[in-house]
Amino acid sequence: MAHTAPAIGGTTRPGPSTPDVFGPGVHAVARWAVPVVLGLVYGYWAAANRRDAGPITGWNLLFGFLTALVFAVLYVAVRAIAQRLRRELHAVAWAAFAGIAFGFLYSQTGASVLKSTGLSLVIGAALFAVLFYRYYTHEDAEGRRVS
């Protein structure tokens, strides 16, 4: 295959630099924006499941905002704690969080406790397998990330 030869004489032009969309400023905003947005979506979803196509009431709004607040706080707590854990416990923490969050949403639909628990265990186990594999292949034996 033919390749282009490098230009002699340095013909690069100093053009406008592109913004660093993954810079530290964006990460600082995302550190708080992601839990807030996810919490609001989760709270709306839980409130919608609970009202079951009925009218929106003040109690329903209060339930949605409290659910959003609890979800966001727990998300931030799991994110802060899980990154300090070894890969097995790291995967367990996120799998438990996701399984419990799913089980709570599903229980708001009026499903039985056993069905909600069973499905949340299945979701948690599947997520544990995926996350453990990811952490196992991206960390060394001491738990340090491998580049």
Give how far Cα 79 sits from Cα of 113, 140, 146, Å: 28, 20, 20
Residue 3, domain member (yes or no):
no
| Model pTM score | 0.78
Number of domains present in the structure of the chain: 2
DSSP H or E stretch at residue 86: none
Distance CA 76, CA 33 (A): 11
Co-location of 57 and 92 in the same domain: no
Co-location of 124 and 91 in the same domain: yes
Distance CA 113, CA 92 (A): 22
Co-location of 147 and 90 in the same domain: yes
User: pLDDT truncated to tens, each residue of the chain (147 aa)?
Assistant: 667 766 665 555 565 667 677 788 888 888 899 999 999 999 999 999 998 888 888 999 999 999 999 999 999 999 999 988 888 899 999 999 999 999 999 999 988 999 999 999 999 999 999 999 998 888 676 666 666
Q: Residue 147 is part of which domain span?
A: 86-147
Residue 15, domain member (yes or no):
no
Q: Is the dihedral of CA 58, 60, 64, 66 positive or negative?
A: positive
